[in-house]
Amino acid sequence: MHLHILGICGTFMGGIAAIAREAGHRVSGSDANAWPPMSTQLEQLGIALQSGYAAEHLQPAPDVVVVGNVVTRGAKFPAMEYALDQGLPYVSGPQWLAENVLRGRHVLAVAGTHGKTTTTSMLAWILDYAGLKPGFLIGGVPANFGISARLGESKYFVIEADEYDTAFFDKRSKFVHYRPRTAILNNLEYDHADIFENLGAIEKQFHHLIRTVPASGRLVVNGGDDNLARVLGMGCWSAVERFDDAAGWRAEPRPAVAPGAFEVFRASVSLGVATLAMPGAHNRANALAAIAAAEHVGVDPKLAMAALASFKGIKRRLEVFGEARGVTVYDDFAHHPTAIAVTLAALRERAPGARILAVLEPRSNTMRLGTHKDELAHSLEGADRCHVYAPASLKWDAAAALAPVGARLAVHADLDALVAAVAAEARAGDQVLVMSNGDFGGVHGRLLSALGQGG
C-alpha cells in the first residue's frame, strides 16, 4: 500500500512514516519545513520528501492520504483541496495508527502537559531492557534507540499521547484514538491556546482519555497535581497508582551515593536506589511514572531501576550541542513557562557553580499569542542572564512583559544581534541554554561558530 503523508516532518507524523515503512508500506510525504532530528531519520529510512503541499504530490494517487494536524482547508494546502475534490481516501495520523498498528495490542500511553517525551522514552527503554521488545512512537529521538518509532515484536506498544487535536476534520485530542490499557498522566496545565479555550476544555479531553481505559487497566497519576485530581473526580473506572505522593511512589535524592542517585519508595517501603543521568526533580518524577507503568506489564521495579541506569536521554532535552572557548551550549525543547523553569533547575543541579545564560525563542502558538507572557519572567528566575528573541511577528511586547527580570534581561528583534550579544558576553565555564520548539534559525551552531571566532 502507498501512503502519502501530509505534514510528514512533524515528530508524530514522521514516526508514523517510520512505522508504516517498517510494516512494508511504500511511504512518501510532503511538508513545508524539515529540520533534524526528524528530517535526518526520514532520509535514513529512504522516505521521499517533497517540499510544500502541491497537488502534484498526489499524482499518481496514493492508496491513502494520511493527514497531519498542521493541515487546514484552503489555498495554503492545495494537496488537501485536491484530495477532497478527487475523492481520494484520507485519514488522520492517529486513526491510521489505531486501526493498523495499535488494535489488539497492550498500549501504554503517556499523557501530560510536560514530560511526555522523556517519560515515554524511559518506559520504552525499560520494557526493551526487560526483553519485551515493545513498539513505540515518541515525540523525540531517545539516544538508546536512535529512532523515534518502531513497530516492535510483541503485543506491547508505548506511545506519547498528545492532547493536541487530531486533524482539521477531527477536533478530538489525538490520545482518544489510542485506547490504552496503561496510561500515565504526568501533569496538567493550560497550554495550546490556539486549540483550547481554557483549562476546563483540556481537562474534558483528559477525562475522555480516562473513559477509554478498561477496569483491568492502570492509571499512573501525578499525586501532587490538583488539576489531575479534578479530572479523576469526574469519574474513574480503573486502578490508580500515584507518584510524587507520600502514599504512592516517591523519590528521595541520594547525591552522597552517586550523582543522579535517588531512592525509590512505594509508600513507606524502599525498593532500592536508582541512578539517572538526567538531572532534575521533574526527571525523577518521570522515572517514577515509568517504573510504575512498567510494573503493570510485569516488569519488576528493581529491573526497571537497572534499566534507568543505562538510559541515555533524548535529543533536544538538555542535550549538549557543543562547546567552544570553555562555554557549553545546550539545546532544549522547552517552550512553556513550567518547562523552562524545571529545565533551568535541572541545569543548575548539573552545574551548580556555573553561570547560566538562557536563550529563549517564544515560538509555540501559545507563546506567540502571549497566553503565558505574564508567567514567563518568573520561569526565568533560575538564569543568571536571559536573552529573548522577539521578532516583529511576536504578538506581544516582550520587553514590557519581561520587565520583572530586570538587568538580567536582553531582548533582541534580530537573530544576528542576539548571537553576537551572547557570544560577546559568554565566558569560560558558562552554560548557555538555548530553548525553542523549532530550529531557532540555527542559533546553536551560530553561537558555537561566533564563540570559536572570538577565541
pLDDT of residue 210: 97
**Which of the listed residues 46, 72, 93 is the one where a domain comes to its end?**
93
pLDDT of residue 62: 97
CB atoms within 10 A of CB 72: 10
In a shared domain, residues 124 and 69:
no
In a shared domain, residues 364 and 283:
no
Q: How many domains does the chain have?
A: 3
In a shared domain, residues 434 and 335:
yes
Task: Indicate whether 314 belongs to any domain.
Answer: no
Q: What is the extent of the structural domain holding 192?
A: 104-309
DSSP H or E segment with residue 19: helix 11-22
pLDDT of residue 437: 80
C-alpha 233/C-alpha 261 separation (Å) is 35
In a shared domain, residues 268 and 150:
yes
Q: What phi and psi values does residue 297 have, to the nearest 5 degrees?
A: -105, 20
In a shared domain, residues 333 and 299:
no
10-residue mean pLDDT series, the chain (455 residues) = 94 93 94 74 84 95 96 96 98 97 97 91 97 95 91 97 94 96 92 80 95 97 95 96 93 88 94 88 92 97 96 83 90 83 86 91 77 83 91 84 88 91 92 87 88 69
Q: Which positions ≥6 away from 440 have C-beta within 8 Å?
A: 361, 363, 389, 434
In a shared domain, residues 333 and 437:
yes
pTM above 0.95, yes or no: no
Q: Which amino acid is at 197?
A: E
User: Residue holding cell 515528530?
Assistant: 11
| Nearest partner of 29 among 44, 40, 37, 2, judged by Cα | 2
In a shared domain, residues 149 and 259:
yes
In a shared domain, residues 189 and 268:
yes
Q: What is the CATH number of the domain that holds 30?
A: 3.40.50.720
DSSP state of 98: I
C-alpha 81/C-alpha 394 separation (Å) is 30
Cβ contact 434:441 at 8 Å: no
DSSP state of 62: P
Task: Indicate whether 20 belongs to any domain.
Answer: yes
In a shared domain, residues 240 and 178:
yes
In a shared domain, residues 368 and 219:
no
pLDDT of residue 152: 96
Tell me whether residue 51 is exposed, middle or buried, using C-beta atoms within 10 angstroms of its C-beta: 0 to 12, 13 to 18, 19 or more. exposed
In a shared domain, residues 255 and 128:
yes
Task: Indicate whether 286 belongs to any domain.
Answer: yes
Nearest-5° Cα angle at 141, 95 to 144 = 120
Task: Mark out the alpha helices in 78-165 (DSSP H runs).
Answer: 78-86, 93-97, 116-129
C-alpha 60/C-alpha 382 separation (Å) is 54
| Nearest partner of 202 among 366, 377, 437, judged by Cα | 366
In a shared domain, residues 282 and 334:
no
Task: Indicate whether 99 belongs to any domain.
Answer: no
